[in-house]
Structure 1
């Protein structure tokens, strides 16, 4: 049985709807987004990044984006994986701890330095480190960096992942996860706004 298109599901797109028709005009983009989701979250071989780690990172990253419907999806996904449910409380606490607004950080010295902006340098709380483990602690701290202050990313940040037990291949997969999630949440949000706009226009036309 084919997996339902995840973006359609999260955006509430029904078959035959106006939004479904709009997405159908970009078949390749739609298919590629679905293939990316499946390869990252339902891989044949999880390799260097476990399914629990993938879902945990997703729940944390989407929580930082403050998108409740998508966050609920990844929360449920994590809960359904063996050993995942025990992480929920710790991750929810860290989402709250990491909430902020961005982007911010410092550019290299030059013309863009006028746009430098200070902000939260997130670190996992000491009381949650045991629950999460070294790998997820490092992953959450790096994910927060990528979401809110990518301009501050440095070699030392990559070394922190390696020191926590992430392999080079695992870091690539992790980076792909964060990038995909940022893309996914923006597309879902945009489609919902468009859907609401189309609904309002149809209602006005029928008045």
Structure 2
């Protein structure tokens, strides 16, 4: 009997201990949960090169290579660089945020340098007003996800969806974009991506660099 009472006493003591360990709030109805994050962005990609590929009849995707600096790195100098970039981008989030169940620390990757503008051109004519070599910005939707509104304006959720015609973009729209989700969408019924051509994409950065990708498609 004494032994059973001792076990019951121990279990009662342990309840508050374990109930305070989990700082997340699960919501099985929405497939999300809330966690506390010191930094909103988990890692920064220092872009060296830009590439493009065609996803379907109306959409192109941009992707990048370069050095990544993350909070979870085992290299102390890389963590130090990450924290330096966090200060540069004013990421002192220190708050709770709702993420989906697929999220793990390290998934939120942004670019070390902000972009300021984009130009899309083709080697062939895309119809009236769009001769070969002229800009296609007014025909193309630039779609991405940005961390900036959450850090600047305390928007709900960690990411804000950006979808604008490329000729309407501002520098603010291109700050702290999430790596891996940049699309160029010609979905207004004007796409000629099925025709053989070279699409040239030029992406400007805050420091004045211009990243360029020449994409052969329709062949």
Quick check: which one's strand share is greater? 2
TM-score (norm 2): 0.22
Q: Which has the larger radius of gyration?
A: 2
Quick check: which one's helix share is greater? 1
